[in-house]
Structures are given as C-alpha cells and as structure tokens.
Amino acid sequence: MDVKYESESSIQNTFKSIAERFPFAVGKKLLSDLFIPTKLGWSNTLINLRNFDESKAVKHAGKILLNSFINHTLAGDKLVKLYGFEKMPHLAEFKKAINERALEIDVPQNAFKDKLPWAVCDSEVLKLNEQKAPQLCEIKRVGSAVYFIFCSVRSFHERVELEKSLFEEAEREKLEDFSEIIGIRPVRRQAFDAVVIHLDRDLVELRVDSPLGLPVDQRKHAADNLRFIFDALSIENFGYGPFGTAPKNFVKIITNLYNEKSEGKVFELGFTANAKESSSNNGAKLLRKKGQDLRSDKFHTGGKGAVDSIDPYTIGVEWEHVNFNGRPKLIVPGSVRMLYASPIIFPEVLIRDCYSEDEFKFVLSKIDKYIA
C-alpha cells in the first residue's frame, strides 16, 4: 500500500502504530536500520520523535515502517484455524459470487476504518469500542485470495521482556544475575482479525489477533465471534457461508514435527511418557527452553530411552532464515485431556513472530507439509 506523506501527522501515526504492535526490541531494530534515533523504551522514543522533521529520508522511512505495520496486522501473532469448503453444496455459485461481488461490498464507516491504514491509539476511542463486535474495515484481493479484515478492541495483561539497557546503571548492576526481566502491564489494543478465502484451494483461513498474554478463553471467543459474523456477512452477500464443516485437525503435525529432527528448533514441548513396568508414568510434562532444540535435549533424550513411548500433546517450533526479520514460530497448543479424548481433535494453531506475509506463508507451508 503506497501512502503519501504530506503532513507530520502521517509519520507520527506510523510511529504510534508500530509502538502499539511491535515489541520494543523489534521496533528498535526497525528504526535503527532506517537511521531513526531511539531512546529507552517506546514511551521515551515516541517523545523523542514528536518533532521529527519531514525530510525525504523520513518520508522514505515512513513508507517502509507503514508497510511493516500493515504486514504485521495480517501476519503477526495469530491464532489460525483452517476450513476446507471443497465439499460445500453450490460451491461453483459461491466462488463465482465472491469473484464478482466481494470487492463491491459497501464497508460501513466506523472508528477503525476511519483511521486506516494506522491503528487507533486514542485510549478513549478504544474504550468506547471495547464492547462492540468485530467491525468490517477493509476487503482486498491478493492473487486468488480475498482478505476480509475486521477490527475490534482486546483488553488483557501483557508480559513484556525488558532490556537491561532500559534501566539506569546502578539498577543494572543489581540485575546482573537475572537472565530475563519480565514486566506485566494492562493493555487495551486494537485487534486486526482476518478471514482469508483461497479460491484456488477451496480453503478458508481464520486469523485472530492473539498477542502474548491474551487468555485462552478470550482468543477462542474471538475466533467463534469472527466466524459467526463472517458467516452472516457471507450468506447476505454471496448466498452461502463457508463454515459448514469442522476445522482441520492439526493433531498429526505434533508427532510429525517431533519426529522430524531437521525441521526448525523445538522450543516448547508437552508430552506424556509411558513405561509398562513402571508405576510412576509421567502424567504430563511441559518443557520450554530458548536457544536449544528440546528434541535433542540430553535430559529429554536420556529419559526417552528409559520408557516405552512418548506421546507429545503440545509443540512449538521456530525457524531462522537469512531473509526473515523475525523468527517465525508455529505452536500447536494442546493438553493431555485432548490427547486422550475421542475423537482426538486439535483445531487451532498459533503463528507468532512473523513480520511479513511471506514469513506467515512460510509457516503455512510447514502446516501443509506436516498435517498429513
């Protein structure tokens, strides 16, 4: 999206929008790469940038930052559910209607649409819209995919990893023994959710903003709400709704990624261990470790050799790539109860730390590869 920068408010809106969605460590790198000065934390950085002059370099930087923000609204920190509609009655009519009429739908004015392409950062406006259902803000087509973008407000407590550089020197000395410093703060933030219809694959993606700290029940409610609202919109405009079937089951991805040692790094692993001749079988164990692949962890591999079977019920995998700004992560969340239910259904995944649509599609390609 090419936006003209003709006023100071444009670049300031971009700075504020980036600060709303990006962790400071990521935002700091984005700004530094564009030679834009930063201070300690977002608050100090935004204050410092209030009088940022509108030079050609700044306008160029503003376009890059805005595109980064727009990409993150579509790809950053999403709960994802996939629905196939290849067996849908009247499939040809449904796809023809979307092809011909999707971009002609009149999107009503609302507080979020009025602010696009930026985020609403005004606390009073966010508070006024907190209890409202997701509102359609934009429809766009990219190739054979049609994106329906909805906005709403989510409130939650956010865990933020704080850099030691944010503290004064005397305070940093006291923190030398700590590998991580975590702060928890209440936030009220605009959410960007999307329903993406892939006409060439007869597939619907439900992408729900799920930042770290958002409670599980809240993100599930948001997904159900979005599905209900889009079904109503689809029936009204295209004659049919695409959510007549159950979502795809991601259960096989857990075992397949666990067994494929060459695929990414496993940073989170939940599993049960069973041995026929032991009276102390492990009911459930959840491991998390940064920077090391838990599949090759000595404690895990040593214990694995002493039991008859390992049944994973949660897995988190991350990938590094020279062309990626982030470290894309795929998490299949689950519980022991889900593992032993009948039927076994894992209906959702979390895709995190993607800063572009290409990074998001990279993770989706891994889902396609390991879901079978």
* Pair 204, 85: CB distance under 8 Å: yes
How confident is the chain (372 residues) per 10-residue block, as mean pLDDT?
49 89 84 86 85 71 90 94 91 94 95 94 92 94 95 88 75 81 87 96 95 91 95 95 90 94 91 63 64 70 65 92 84 89 92 91 95 87
Identify the pLDDT of residue 3: 45
Kind and range of the H or E element at 196?
strand 182-198
| Longest CA–CA separation in the chain, Å | 74
Identify the pLDDT of residue 307: 66
Q: Could you give the CA distance from residue 212 to residue 157 in angstroms, rounded to a whole number?
A: 9
- The radius of gyration of the chain's CA atoms, rounded to the nearest angstrom, is 22
Identify the pLDDT of residue 53: 65
Identify the pLDDT of residue 6: 43
Identify the pLDDT of residue 282: 56
For 73, 179, 193, the CA distances from 138, given in Å and listed in that order, are 12, 42, 11
Domain boundaries, given as residue ranges, for the chain: 8-75, 78-238, 251-370
Identify the pLDDT of residue 191: 96
Report how far apart the first and last C-alpha atoms of the chain are (Å, whole number): 36
Q: Could you give the CA distance from residue 270 to residue 346 in angstroms, rounded to a whole number?
A: 14
81-102 per-residue burial string, b: 16 or more CB within 10 A, e: under 16: bbbbbeebeeeeebbebbeeeb
303-338 per-residue burial string, b: 16 or more CB within 10 A, e: under 16: eeeebeebbbbbbbbbbeeeebbbbbbbbbbbebee
